[in-house]
């Protein structure tokens, strides 16, 4: 299971690393978007900060995944981005569903593998 953990962690880290660097440094020409996905993406860009914030978050989490440091924390931090990637592909751009499924399953696996790091969050505290 440890080898699978390393493979999944590395693949997810590489995916987020390359996608964030490509957008942050404008290294790859983005394909022309049409329809609702264009409207959605234009809205993210129109905020002036949100797309950059998302990509910096992806970059920081990618570094954590690739180095193996703070993986449980990175998994929690990237979870809203992962859910949004999945939901965008389900609702707006169904051609990207395989990528959405991969990031959800990979992040869920990392969370499951590191479940002992989250155990204290689920212990009830009885203070009166």
Cα 118 from chain centroid (whole Å): 19
Query: 10 Å Cβ neighbour count for 75?
Result: 26
pLDDT band of 29, cuts 50, 70, 90: confident
75 within 8 A of 114, measured Cβ to Cβ: yes
- Dihedral sign computed on CA atoms, order 23, 21, 24, 107: positive
Among candidates 86, 88, 83, 104, which has minimal Cα distance to 35? 88
Judged against a pLDDT cut of 90, whether residue 30 lies above it is answered with no
Q: What is the mean pLDDT of residues 75-101?
A: 96
> Residue 63 has which token pair?
């570094």
| Total-model pTM | 0.90
Q: Over the chain, what is the mean pLDDT?
A: 94
Residues 10-17: what's their mean pLDDT?
Answer: 98
**pLDDT at residue 127 tops 80:** no
């Amino acid at each position: 299971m440890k080898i699978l953990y390393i493979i999944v962690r590395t693949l997810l880290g590489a995916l987020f690393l390359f996608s964030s660097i490509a957008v942050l440094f404008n290294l790859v020409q983005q394909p022309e978007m049409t329809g609702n996905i264009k409207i959605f993406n234009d809205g993210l860009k129109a905020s002036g900060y949100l797309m950059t914030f998302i990509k910096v978050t992806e970059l920081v989490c990618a570094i954590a995944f690739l180095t193996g440091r703070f993986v449980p924390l990175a998994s929690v931090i990237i979870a809203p981005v992962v859910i949004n990637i999945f939901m965008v592909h389900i609702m707006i751009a169904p051609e990207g569903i395989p990528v959405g499924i991969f990031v959800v399953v990979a992040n869920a696996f990392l969370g499951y593998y590191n479940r002992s790091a989250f155990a204290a969050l689920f212990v009830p505290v009885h203070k009166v």
